[in-house]
Structure 1
Amino acid sequence: MDYLQYASQKTGYLKEEFRLFHIKDQTKREFEWHYHDFHKIVVFLSGKVTYHIEGKAYHLKPRDILLVSQGDIHKPEIDFSVPYERFIIWIRKDIAKSQLNSCFQKANDRSFNLVRLDSDLQEQLRELLLKLEQASKSKKFGDDLLCESLFTQFMVYINRIFLKETYTADQKSYSSDSQVEQLLKYINQNLSQDLSIDTLSEKFFFSKYHMMRKFREETGYTIHNYISSKRLLLARSLISQETPVLKAAQQSGFRDYTTFIRAYKKQFGTTPSQS
Structure 2
Amino acid sequence: MEKQKKGYLNDDFLLFHLKDQKHQEFEFHYHDFKKIIIFLSGNVTYLIEGKTYHLNPWDVLLINNNELHKPIIDPSVPYERIIIWLNSDFLESHNGKDYDITTCFHLANRKSFNLVRLDAKLLDYLKMVINGLTESMNSNEFANSLLSNTFLIQLLIYLNRIVLEQKNINEHQALKYDKQIEEILRYINNNLSSDISIEKLSDVFYINRYHLMHKFKDETGYSIHNYVIQKRLIQSLEYINQGIPITKASELSGFNDYSSFLRSFKKFYNKTPREYFDQNY
Q: TM-score, normalised by structure 2?
A: 0.91
Aligned partner of 1:165 in structure 2 is 166
Residue number among 31, 34, 57 corresponding to 1:36 in the alignment: 31
Q: Secondary structure at the match of 1:172?
A: helix
Aligned partner of 2:198 in structure 1 is 197
Q: CA deviation at 1:121?
A: 1.8
Using the alignment, how far apart are the partners of 1:51 and 1:153 within structure 2?
Answer: 26
Q: TM-score, normalised by structure 1?
A: 0.93
More divergent stretch after superposition (51-60 vs 237-246): 237-246
Using the alignment, how far apart are the partners of 1:22 and 1:218 within structure 2?
Answer: 30
Aligned partner of 1:263 in structure 2 is 264
Q: Secondary structure at the match of 1:100?
A: coil
RMSD: 1.6
Where do residues 219-230 of structure 1 align in structure 2 (5 Å cutoff)? 219-230=220-231
Using the alignment, how far apart are the partners of 2:23 and 2:140 within structure 1?
Answer: 34
Where do residues 76-225 of structure 1 align in structure 2 (5 Å cutoff)? 76-95=71-90, 96-97=93-94, 99-225=100-226
User: Which residues of structure 2 form unaligned runs of 5+?
Assistant: none
Q: Identity across aligned pairs (percent)? A: 47
Aligned partner of 2:53 in structure 1 is 58
> Is the contact between residue 22 and residue 85 of structure 1 (CA under 8 Å) also seen in structure 2?
yes
Using the alignment, how far apart are the partners of 1:168 and 1:192 within structure 2?
Answer: 37
Deviations 1:199-228 (A, max 9, x none): 100011111111001111111111001000
Q: Secondary structure at the match of 2:17?
A: strand
Using the alignment, how far apart are the partners of 1:146 and 1:130 within structure 2?
Answer: 12
Give the residue type in structure 1 aligned to 2:94.
K
Q: CA deviation at 1:231?
A: 0.7
Q: CA deviation at 1:268?
A: 3.0
Deviations 1:13-46 (A, max 9, x none): 2210111111121112222222222211111111
Change over 3 Å in CA distance of 1:210–1:160 after alignment to 2: same
The answer to whether structure 1 residue 27 and structure 2 residue 22 are counterparts is yes
Give the residue type in structure 1 aligned to 2:33.
F
Q: CA deviation at 1:273?
A: 4.2
Aligned partner of 1:250 in structure 2 is 251
Using the alignment, how far apart are the partners of 1:242 and 1:158 within structure 2?
Answer: 33
Using the alignment, how far apart are the partners of 1:102 and 1:251 within structure 2?
Answer: 27
Change over 3 Å in CA distance of 1:136–1:173 after alignment to 2: same
Give the residue type in structure 1 aligned to 2:181.
V
Aligned partner of 2:42 in structure 1 is 47
Give the residue type in structure 2 aligned to 1:97.
H
Q: Secondary structure at the match of 2:168?
A: coil
What count of residue pairs does the alignment treat as equivalent? Answer: 270
> Is the contact between residue 93 and residue 101 of structure 1 (CA under 8 Å) also seen in structure 2?
no
Using the alignment, how far apart are the partners of 2:158 and 2:270 within structure 1?
Answer: 38
Aligned partner of 1:10 in structure 2 is 5
Q: CA deviation at 1:112?
A: 0.8
Q: CA deviation at 1:163?
A: 3.1
Using the alignment, how far apart are the partners of 1:169 and 1:230 within structure 2?
Answer: 30
Using the alignment, how far apart are the partners of 2:160 and 2:244 within structure 1?
Answer: 29
Deviations 1:162-208 (A, max 9, x none): 23322123211110112211111111111111101111000111111
More divergent stretch after superposition (157-166 vs 94-103): 94-103
